Structure 1
Amino acid sequence: MAPSSKTAATLNELAAGSVGGAAQVLVGQPLDTVKTRAQIAPAGMFKGPMDILLQTVRKEGFLALYKGMASPLFGIAGVNSLLFAAYGVSKRIISPFPQLSLKETAAAGAMAGAINAVLASPVEMFKVRMQGQYGDKTDKRLSVIAREMWSQWGFRKGVMRGYWVTVAREIPAYAGFYTAYEFSRRQFAQKYGPELPVWAVLASGSTGGMAYWLSSYPLDVVKSRVQLRTTPPTGTPVQYIAAELRAVVAEGGVAGLFRGLSPTLIRSIPAAASTFAAYELTREFLEKTTGV
């Protein structure tokens, strides 16, 4: 592929990723709020995911399920654009051939995940801190939280809090995500040919979404807790991640590492499906339009 063609292909991936990311947020945010609150709420505050959903709507209103959406909605264009572009570039680095093996796909996904953490970390941090407010009079707007995190802790310990645990989460998450997605697509392609029906793309995306969380969920619990803390973590990333994992197990047993997993898996089906459907349809349109 010529340099100009590579640039055009990357731009197509950036644009398609933005559309896919917006679809993901709009579809998945309510259950993402349930997931985050399950991870970070004080012990005994909720009886389970359904209780979180019902209490949130009853006490704060339906729109509270979209609390914290501004951060990912505005940031998701950059996050998903970076992710899909990084994945496309990673595939081209790993192999000059368009059809990668599943092992190569996992490696490209891991590379893309590590790169994606640069933008995903602050977006997630602001979202978690918004979702960790329960409708009190002292609740803060996103702009206030952003200003306080910057003024009190600066860029590294404030805005980028939880960066290394986000990296640790994204590497296995996207290795699993893209491997499951590609495996599903190839199985469908054997039966239906390379031009898959939309439902097959949706099903493949859903499979990838579930693999994402099954590959990384305990680290997501750690990330949410670290990002919500009033003070930044201390020690090396390995030390504070290990300390947080031990704290979660001490508080709720091994099951605590998977608190909120069920609504997350349910959310992953429509969220990932809509992401890939929007991404693939946009990318195909741009390929036809630009010829790349």
Structure 2
Amino acid sequence: MSSHSTQATINELIAGSIGGAAQVLVGQPMDTIKTRAQTASSPMDILAQTMRKEGFFALYKGMLSPLIGIAGVNSLLFAAYGSSKRLISPYPQLSLKEIAAAGAMAGAANTILSSPVEMFKVRMQAQYGAPTDKRLKVVVRDMWRDWGFRQGIMRGFWVTLAREIPAYAGYANFSHISIIGFEFSKRTFAKKYGDDIPVWALLASGSMGGIAYWLACYPLDVVKSRVQLRAEPPQGSPIQYIIRELRAVVVEAGSIPAAGSTFAAFELARGYLFKTTGV
């Protein structure tokens, strides 16, 4: 690998970490509501109950898991995405189909770290402030002790993989999603503003990516949460239990502003690093 490619990967790792932290800080309250709504009642009812019984900061329950892991998760995602783009084409301006392929590769790689981070976040969010609620380290310890690595720490891996690949690329009816939605929107703004795209435009582009991401993957996200929250591991093959869970769920809503902050923070950080390192 050339020194130029190495520096580009390092920049993407750093920018991805910053984007990931922005995602957690902005999106955690909505993510908590989403997770609880997927396994209980309506989002507004969940919000009212959470605020009344546990207070505002309960909306940030489960934040420690993604905050600890987000640097690795988003660094891996954006670094894999950048490396995949360079692997697919030596030219910087890829077509949307090539971006779809790079996004699929990045989504698959991202599952390695995002699956356990998501699993522990979901289990923390499902605790409603009872005296028996567990700290994150206790949840990790119990899952490892009772179920081991595959059925405990990595529970929900196959559902997460099935969610991430189409969400970051484009399969079947989802032709412009997540990274593609972001790139499409960003390129539209670039035609007007050139290289100096304003922050609000980056946020809007990220939000477009977020809308498309959740349109594509929300049903599987519901399945993932239900699988990861069960007292025991799912039975049968991944396809069997995914289909079984899909039959039992009703799609509620998604999370959009967090995606806007992720991509905007990533682009701003990468722009600063480009000016500093020249790569």
TM-score normalised by the chain length of structure 2: 0.95
Q: Does 1:268 align with 2:256?
A: yes
Q: In percent, how many aligned pairs have the same letter?
A: 72
Q: Quote the Cα distance in structure 2 between the aligned partners of 1:55 and 1:220.
A: 23
Q: Quote the Cα distance in structure 1 between the aligned partners of 2:192 and 2:265.
A: 23
| 1:107-256 equivalence runs, <5 A | 107-175=101-169, 176-248=177-249, 256=250
CA displacement, residues 57-82 of structure 1 (integer Å, 9 cap, x when unaligned): 11011111000000001110100000
Deviation at 1:231, TM superposition (A): 0.6
Task: Read off the aligned partner of 1:268 and give its amino acid letter.
Answer: I
Unaligned runs of 5+ in 1: 249-255
Deviation at 1:173, TM superposition (A): 0.9
Tell me the equivalent position of 2:173.
Answer: none
Q: Quote the Cα distance in structure 2 between the aligned partners of 1:79 and 1:199.
A: 25
Tell me the equivalent position of 2:70.
Answer: 76
Q: Quote the Cα distance in structure 2 between the aligned partners of 1:290 and 1:193.
A: 21
Q: Does 1:62 align with 2:62?
A: no
Unaligned runs of 5+ in 2: 170-176
**SS of 1:285 mapped into structure 2:** helix
Task: Read off the aligned partner of 1:38 and give its amino acid letter.
Answer: A
Q: Does 1:32 align with 2:20?
A: no
Task: Read off the aligned partner of 1:231 and give its amino acid letter.
Answer: E
Tell me the equivalent position of 1:19.
Answer: 18
Task: Read off the aligned partner of 2:145 and give its amino acid letter.
Answer: S
TM-score normalised by the chain length of structure 1: 0.91
Q: Larger helix proportion, structure 1 or 2?
A: 1
Tell me the equivalent position of 2:172.
Answer: none
Task: Read off the aligned partner of 1:273 and give its amino acid letter.
Answer: G
**SS of 2:83 mapped into structure 1:** helix
CA displacement, residues 132-177 of structure 1 (integer Å, 9 cap, x when unaligned): 1111111111111000000111111100000000000001111210
Q: Quote the Cα distance in structure 2 between the aligned partners of 1:18 and 1:144.
A: 26
Give the total of aligned pairs: 272
Deviation at 1:246, TM superposition (A): 2.1
Q: Does 1:280 align with 2:267?
A: yes
Tell me the equivalent position of 1:252.
Answer: none
CA displacement, residues 232-275 of structure 1 (integer Å, 9 cap, x when unaligned): 11222111111211233xxxxxxx0x12x1xx2xx412x12211
Q: Which sits farther off after the overlay, 164-173 or 185-194?
A: 185-194
Q: 1:97 aligns with which of 91, 95, 105?
A: 91
Q: Quote the Cα distance in structure 1 between the aligned partners of 2:64 and 2:260.
A: 21
Q: Quote the Cα distance in structure 1 between the aligned partners of 2:209 and 2:123.
A: 27
Deviation at 1:55, TM superposition (A): 0.7
Deviation at 1:39, TM superposition (A): 0.3
Tell me the equivalent position of 1:10.
Answer: 9
Q: Quote the Cα distance in structure 2 between the aligned partners of 1:247 and 1:210.
A: 24
The structure 1 segments of at least 4 consecutive aligned residues displaced by more than 3 Å after TM superposition are none
Task: Read off the aligned partner of 1:181 and give its amino acid letter.
Answer: F
Q: Quote the Cα distance in structure 1 between the aligned partners of 2:152 and 2:110.
A: 19
Q: Quote the Cα distance in structure 2 between the aligned partners of 1:118 and 1:239.
A: 22
Task: Read off the aligned partner of 2:7 and give its amino acid letter.
Answer: A
**SS of 1:247 mapped into structure 2:** coil
Q: Quote the Cα distance in structure 1 between the aligned partners of 2:230 and 2:39.
A: 10
